[in-house]
Structure 1
């Protein structure tokens, strides 16, 4: 069986979502907890593109290699195409033979960041900080479960113009600005 594509980025069409960082964090009421201190808290998988800074995230009660595989399939491959590389920590979900086989099947290069040094994967840490800060702000204004507010935090992050480019992440990834719900009430050409 041949691979879906070669690991040569110049051999395939240019993708906006091409090099990704993935990590798992525990969040309780919008606050970060160490992975070792978990009992019944919820977990979040966070995946970030190095170039566009696009963030995909989803909450889970527990995370095994099957959930990571499904997350990458649903949030990256089906929406954005096959990335060139995914950078992970050395979590058991990422170094399992199942997930490595999944990446091999799709021709995705799997790289690991330095163990016990999370700052080595700075992109993932910056994305985690962005999500945690957003959750804290949303939960201060609203009472509820952080997992219910995660999509709103991601939407806000994706539709806010960046200082460096003046563009939203949505426009960088999709090539057009999104129509926000508030615009539906205003007559326009869009």
Structure 2
């Protein structure tokens, strides 16, 4: 466990044991999850559970990644990380994608708990170990292996194995403890190498998908930007409040997408993600741009009327064309009308001629 992400999920209904939150910790490489039901999210409770329930079992990680919650940014947590030799890192404000692994697991964990504890919502902490058991024995899409296989070098026995039996494995002669240790270590090295290649391929695909929806450009030091800072105030509707503040100033570019910004106003320095920044364009002030007119100012005379009609200076109209199958529509209609007219005229002439013949026949003595 070199890099571990932590987060607090909740609040949930208070259980019979007095628990209300879930402390989630997850290894970035093996995807091994740990979740502990806790009564509160104070710094003391968070540090105690991490040390006693996780660090003492798997060892202290090299890096601990979290959001900017008060329990993780407290002086107590900083002292614990300092004594254990853990490097503490944090996400940028209002950007949960910086800790996407844990945030995605929180969604899965909440969904599974809702299925098991939908009727009696005050016993969700009793279903927590079963959900973790199922997740640890499931194949991950990015690594193509289960978290248990990457953590222990073997699969966990599940109720399915008890019913149908475990998959057949080649029989090996009894060996000493040292031989078993070396064989298990080689197996883990092979599994870790396969997982690294699979995760690298998955990372390339995820980056390609993210870049198709990514908008914006890189900023240089000293450039002014708009900063996305949504705020809520009592008595004011958040839908009618401007969420962008500016101008802020780019002080330093820390990474490809992270910048150190000087906020407008007091000028405090903050670290923000590029998704919360936009190029600064000052708002136009038409009232201030109009010059004052005095009595001594000579106004320009009105332009003389030109011979060009106003329609000539306007935007040209769109030329509409009929569809291809209707191009000879008028000609066909005219031909049909002509033929119909001639037919009617011939019929009328024939009837008149026959009528005159009948009339002359009747007038004969």
- For the aligned pair, the TM-score class normalised by the smaller chain equals 0.7 to 0.9
Stretches of structure 1 that go unaligned for 5 or more consecutive residues are 1-16, 30-39
Q: Which residue of 2 aligns with 1:88?
A: 66
* Other-structure match for 1:57: 35
**Residue equivalent to 2:52:** 74
Partner Cα distance (2:159, 2:51) in 1: 28
Shift of 1:172: 0.9
Structure 1 vs Structure 2 CA RMSD: 2.4
Match of residue 10, structure 2, among 1, 10, 26: 26
Q: State yes or no: 1:178 paired with 2:156.
A: yes
TM-score by length of 2: 0.41
Unpaired runs of at least 5, structure 2? 170-365
Shift of 1:75: 3.2
Instruction: Name the structure 2 match of 1:121.
Output: 99
Whether the 8 Å contact between 1:138 and 1:153 is mirrored in structure 2 is: no
Q: For 1:11-54, what per-residue CA distance to the aligned partner results, in whole angstroms no more than 9, with x for missing partners?
A: xxxxxx2101111121436xxxxxxxxxx981111111111211
C-alpha separation in 2, matches of 1:167 and 1:173: 10
Look up the match of 2:111. 133
Displacement of 1:127 in angstroms is 1.5
Q: CA deviation at 1:181?
A: 4.5
Task: Report the structure number with the largest CA radius of gyration.
Answer: 2
Change (3 A) 1:84 1:146: same
Preserved contact between residue 26 and residue 32 of structure 2 (Cα < 8 Å): yes
Partners of 1:171 and 1:160 in 2: CA distance: 10
1:148 maps to what in 2?
A: 126
Q: Provide TM-score, normalisation by structure 1.
A: 0.75
Residue pairs, 1:147-166, within 5 angstroms? 147-166=125-144
Rate the CA distance shift 1:93–1:184 in 2: closer, same or farther, 3 A: same
